Structure 1
């Protein structure tokens, strides 16, 4: 019994000492390979960092939005109508499923901002006599809400206040329903309904030229001649109640009051576009890390294979001392997992830092009261498990090879390579290469597996840098197509009510107006089978010159003589092809419903559209030759005067300036999109350096004995360096073009994943992007080559040439 206990204790002590010895071996090897370990860890950190940055932004914005919506009671259903008596509110509230309801008066105003000559428009929303509304409550940043009986007091949305540096107590002029008055700011507020504010007729936010104002209900009713009436409903629905049933009941009840079709939160502009942005963040959090982690797995496989090839004798000794296959496999697994943990830790730090920076930037864009920076712990666990799993899979082949290597086989050095003259050498025989150059060619040809792996490493590095940079070209193309090719007007004026097309002649006669073109945009719901989309149908003249539809090759697409022309994104969403019929429910005017054929499908990069000829649209909607928008080209010297006249015109609802839309694009969508792209490009450069550094270091380790032998035989340092670095130069020259092909394929994958209703990223790769990706890889190779050159200079010939033979 005692001897058994002693043997068990002895075996336990031996096991502990054995494990400690292997752990010491790991620490020494990590220190000896510290450069390569750091390079691989940076590759892993790049993938983890992009993932954490995207997931942290996505999670934080989702939590922030959900908390904001709940705390300030964001509506589930919206309804706009012409005019209904306030007595109808009780009847609507009696509809089963409605939790809270708020009846409002809404209107439009044209503002006169000090020291800002361009036209400014605003949306007006009424507030109840006392306190906050029951639905869509306001977050007050500064000041207090307008008080009853104070007709000149308004609260303004924060984005507009920041754009014009407005504070409580400031005053500005406004034209409301044809009457001019001076308004006083009492509060700067935010609203869950207007996280994303878009002016009438626009596609992008314009904080300088469009804002949202809140007035007391009494004041706005008087200004809009809506005493005792309302024209807007917002309401929340009980949990478990059917929104569709509530919407149908509201439409039936308010049909005679000109309701334009109640709609759910999913169709509300601000919420819909925010959803698209969050979906893109979620996509980024999966696509980019998958690419980066693939490269990391490849690198780990190469490095661990190289390490095991140099430790064949050590593996044999470990097995001779009684270490089992499982212990040796676990030993090398811990080496791989340690590298992965280092990369994971660096990636988490990098991702949290960049994620917080990106989140603060989104706060300026989305106007939340504050950012709730969160990272779902479950995602961290999944990310950790995924990173360690991918890293282990990357080294699995090498680990399995180490564990199954027989001791007798491991004690013998690898058999010499069989050398013979290949067909490539025979082809190159007439060329008079120097002896080192011939060595380079032979090394590449006679070890094709290693050569292919090195070329693939360079190609992946090039492809990742290209993927990180091609979006800059895409944004430039989007700008060129939308604001130079598609939109050639200087100003778009939207009317309060549709006007006879003859109004264009009056505008054309105005001094400073060079050319005027009319069109009509009608709110509509398009339905095909079980799919539907709420938006608008745009009617354009047959001979449109200022704004038209183009295809992917930037050619103008003629409008069909009958039927609709849909963008490809909308066609896919509705599941229709050319020749299919779509049910069109017009939500304004006579609100007719009819079936129209899909006569064509085209492509647009910004927004989603359904188009028809102006006469076809007016005939389908049951109206005469009317328009509700005028597109104008102006004399540059007369713009200020035309802006002033449009601002004072009583029938003009809002004015959209093309240059302002372009500026807004760069300040909002392009800013967030390109900032994310910048971080990806930076991490792509880190990965490129990691790939190049490891490739050269592995090559140096594998050829160390050969290069040292050449030095002993009399070759100079520069000649030996020429053999190593010349081989890498050929690998880089072959890998870069292959990387361009890989990068283009990855970019195509990303473009397909980033499609949203707000915009589609085009796949365009310019020579500049190809040059940048090649330059990053070449510079990484030069820096890594300089390190290798210095190590060759200080090579210990005696230590390298030691052998068991």
Structure 2
């Protein structure tokens, strides 16, 4: 081993505390990069494999009632590779001891053959017996949430008729990865079920013998989706088509794709922020460490070592720390990603989910770590190498402080000698003081951003279910009914207030931009479910134009005053040209609002409602929900409390769960920054502190000179951290927002206070650790020049 390599090992051992802290900062940045890349790859690969293995359709075409002979004409369309006609409809499940009816979707399976498209994955039990009409396969998630298993009986309301059905198997399917009830945004295994039945049995239940109400298509490679949809619309239009759509607009796929896109956006925003902060901090730390080695560099050059040899020596020093941090980050990133995969597997209904990291990410993490760690060292080495050996071996010439800020006479009288020494050092080296304060401020900013993000998630939940939605329950009808139905609801025991709504499926188009969604028809001044502005004040829903959510306006690239093409997907399916009257702030989904009467007039269907928001007497809630369960026209009842719990679970799972990991990482980085600052300051001033002890300063006074400087720099870093934290919070909030939910930019005083307390606690702990080293300082060794 060469002398320089032995010196390298001694140096690493001597600064092991600082080296470990730097490696941890690097590791945490790389951890985020590897973990988020692995999650994105895992979800995309698993989704692709699941779709292919179980032949998920690429086109879905709902229709009122079409004869099965039409399937041959559909199969003959250019670009169509396979066709499957099936029956699908809504159902209600009556569970013992549960007042609120559970919504379900009933789906047919061919009697005598496997389905060509949209096959199911059998998890437990057996497949359906084609000779039995009372058998069903049940969605695994719902069965587990309700404690059901093969052999149990279910009371199900199918098309207004109550039937007793027997569970023979539990299943999963790629079209129900994100199993959510129609009209809701958050999945809840206990509140939504999927039932698979024999085709003949379900056709009899929905009066569709010899017919289908949904066509599934697979496309050939050369097919053009737009042309297939156009041809499909021509064939299905006479039979009450609701508008064919591609896989991109299928509900489950849309949600899981948005989750993946949200992760991608977070991957583009969040890891670079952490690595950027790490780069800045490491530049400060490593440059100061190498500057402290000035005399040793001069001595090495005096012994004949070339600048290249000395540079390689310090490059190895940096590489050892950087590579160790990067490898630790890669390992921890894989472990963290694997643990989060289990969260996704429990929440999304994948039968398998394998964690895979792109090897290129490991190379990227390693390269970025090395570049970040090397930047500070190379800049300082360049300045040191410019000196001759004799000049480098001498201590730097004393700085000229004649033009620096001076302490006033009042301060000189009030402060003792150690305090004056602290202030003079800070004032005479403003660049170093500002740099150190910025480093601590950057660490605090990470904590502010993560704590604010966690508060923003909770705030969005509170605003959505307390300020925007103030109803107790939402009743949905099977089809739009006369508004006279509202009188019947209002007369039911326990109903305090009724507010109607109508939901119309539409395709919204503005230029090249489009969005498949729905228009919500509300009363002019809604009270129970409102559109609100940026100040969370209710907006008057207008009859002369649409009120779009901010997220939807961004998707369509449209401003108030511009006109929007609305293609209605039900009834006579008119095409409307409606102006945009305003923009609303919504945190869930991307809705569009129009005054209820105006919506019905545009559709030429006066006095129609899709459902109602209810305010309910809590003491009479259970009898009311039981009564609603027995109404044939009711498609489902949703309680706000259950919807809130489901959405909270959504925010705490998937991409939302990553915020807890990032908060922990930010806390560790913050401590590492403050500790590094303290250790570097001690390493730089060890000789000065020993000199003070020799001159007669006590241990406490000597420690005060160093720790007082650290305390003032920490206090200077707090306002810088608060300012930088605001912009980091904005960047992270944008990275986490998706079409499903928006994370508001909030200035939460508690977040700033908690982050400041974390920085102060880190400073106290770091000061205590450094104080121990000062007390154990060997004066003779510290005063010697290291050679």
Scaled by the length of structure 1, the TM-score of the pair is: 0.95
Q: In structure 1, what is the equivalent of residue 320 of structure 2?
A: 338
Contact 2:447–2:667 (Cα < 8 Å) also in 1? yes
Unaligned runs of 5+ in 2: none
Q: In structure 2, what is the equivalent of residue 3 of structure 1?
A: none
Q: In structure 1, what is the equivalent of residue 671 of structure 2?
A: 689
Which of 363, 377, 401 is matched with 2:359 structurally? 377
Q: In structure 1, what is the equivalent of residue 7 of structure 2?
A: 25
**Equivalent pairs, count:** 787
Cα offset for 1:389?
2.3
Does residue 579 in structure 1 map to residue 561 in structure 2?
yes
Cα offset for 1:683?
0.8
2:124 match: secondary structure:
strand
- Measured in 1, the distance between the counterparts of 2:110 and 2:578 equals 43
Question: For the structure 1 residues 623 and 804, does the alpha-carbon distance in structure 2 shift closer, same or farther, using more than 3 Å as the test?
Answer: closer
Does residue 307 in structure 1 map to residue 289 in structure 2?
yes
Cα offset for 1:49?
0.9
- Measured in 2, the distance between the counterparts of 1:259 and 1:540 equals 26
Q: In structure 1, what is the equivalent of residue 114 of structure 2?
A: 132
Which of 588, 598, 612 is matched with 2:580 structurally? 598
Q: In structure 1, what is the equivalent of residue 233 of structure 2?
A: 251
Which of 615, 625, 631 is matched with 2:607 structurally? 625
Q: In structure 2, what is the equivalent of residue 94 of structure 1?
A: 76
Contact 1:200–1:494 (Cα < 8 Å) also in 2? no
Does residue 787 in structure 1 map to residue 769 in structure 2?
yes
- Measured in 1, the distance between the counterparts of 2:557 and 2:160 equals 45
Q: In structure 2, what is the equivalent of residue 778 of structure 1?
A: 760
Cα offset for 1:767?
1.8
Cα offset for 1:421?
7.4
Deviations for 1:57-94, whole angstroms, at most 9, x for unmatched residues?
11111111111111111111111110000110111111
Deviations for 1:216-251, whole angstroms, at most 9, x for unmatched residues?
101100111110100011111111311111111101
Deviations for 1:148-195, whole angstroms, at most 9, x for unmatched residues?
131111111122111101111111211111111111111111111011
Question: For the structure 1 residues 272 and 674, does the alpha-carbon distance in structure 2 shift closer, same or farther, using more than 3 Å as the test?
Answer: closer
Question: For the structure 1 residues 804 and 367, does the alpha-carbon distance in structure 2 shift closer, same or farther, using more than 3 Å as the test?
Answer: closer
Cα offset for 1:432?
0.5
Contact 1:458–1:735 (Cα < 8 Å) also in 2? yes
- Measured in 2, the distance between the counterparts of 1:236 and 1:402 equals 68
Does residue 110 in structure 1 map to residue 101 in structure 2?
no
Q: In structure 2, what is the equivalent of residue 537 of structure 1?
A: 519
Which of 588, 605, 617 is matched with 1:635 structurally? 617
- Measured in 2, the distance between the counterparts of 1:634 and 1:424 equals 72
Cα offset for 1:422?
4.4
Deviations for 1:343-366, whole angstroms, at most 9, x for unmatched residues?
111111211111111110111111
Mapping for residues 658-737 of structure 1, pairs under 5 Å = 658-737=640-719
Q: In structure 2, what is the equivalent of residue 14 of structure 1?
A: none
- Measured in 1, the distance between the counterparts of 2:404 and 2:377 equals 32
Q: In structure 2, what is the equivalent of residue 547 of structure 1?
A: 529
Mapping for residues 263-662 of structure 1, pairs under 5 Å = 263-420=245-402, 422-423=404-405, 425-426=407-408, 429=411, 432-662=414-644
1:566 match: secondary structure:
strand
- Measured in 2, the distance between the counterparts of 1:170 and 1:373 equals 36
Deviations for 1:364-419, whole angstroms, at most 9, x for unmatched residues?
11110011111111222222222222322243312323443332321221111223
Unaligned runs of 5+ in 1: 1-16
Cα offset for 1:28?
1.4
- Measured in 1, the distance between the counterparts of 2:525 and 2:730 equals 35
Q: Cα RMSD (Å) of the superposition? A: 1.7
Contact 2:405–2:427 (Cα < 8 Å) also in 1? no
- Measured in 1, the distance between the counterparts of 2:289 and 2:178 equals 55
- Measured in 1, the distance between the counterparts of 2:773 and 2:113 equals 75
Deviations for 1:25-74, whole angstroms, at most 9, x for unmatched residues?
22211111100000011101110111111111111111111111111111
Contact 1:51–1:286 (Cα < 8 Å) also in 2? no
Cα offset for 1:322?
3.2
- Measured in 1, the distance between the counterparts of 2:402 and 2:763 equals 31
Question: For the structure 1 residues 387 and 239, does the alpha-carbon distance in structure 2 shift closer, same or farther, using more than 3 Å as the test?
Answer: farther
Q: In structure 1, what is the equivalent of residue 187 of structure 2?
A: 205
Cα offset for 1:282?
1.9
Which of 31, 35, 39 is matched with 2:21 structurally? 39
1:254 match: secondary structure:
helix
- Measured in 2, the distance between the counterparts of 1:353 and 1:131 equals 43
- Measured in 2, the distance between the counterparts of 1:288 and 1:399 equals 32
- Measured in 2, the distance between the counterparts of 1:311 and 1:734 equals 28
- Measured in 1, the distance between the counterparts of 2:487 and 2:377 equals 75
2:414 match: secondary structure:
coil
- Measured in 2, the distance between the counterparts of 1:729 and 1:588 equals 68
1:671 match: secondary structure:
coil
- Measured in 2, the distance between the counterparts of 1:286 and 1:399 equals 33
1:101 match: secondary structure:
strand
Contact 2:452–2:746 (Cα < 8 Å) also in 1? yes
Cα offset for 1:673?
4.5
